[in-house]
Amino acid sequence: MGQAHKLDCESAAADCRFIIQSENEDEAVELARNHMKEVHGTDYTDDELRSEHLQVV
């Protein structure tokens, strides 16, 4: 099994329970970016998501 890339949105937005987990980093980043924009109205760059929000598990 490879590493998985995980976004636990609860750490970014206390009232959100959204979790993304994917072995494909590009997919995880894209899903995370779409979620942040559509649900929270916040634009993050891929680099911000990778460095600040995505965890490797």
Binding site for Zn ion (CB under 5 A): 9, 13, 16, 18, 39
What is the SS3 assignment for 12?
coil
Q: How far is the CB of 35 from Zn ion (least distance, A)?
A: 6
Q: Which residues contact 40 (CB under 8 A, 6 or more apart)?
A: 12, 13, 16
End-to-end CA distance of the chain: 11
Pick the closer one to Zn ion by CB: 19 or 56: 19
Q: Which is nearer to Zn ion, 9 or 49 (CB)?
A: 9
Closer CB to Zn ion, 4 or 13, in the complex: 13
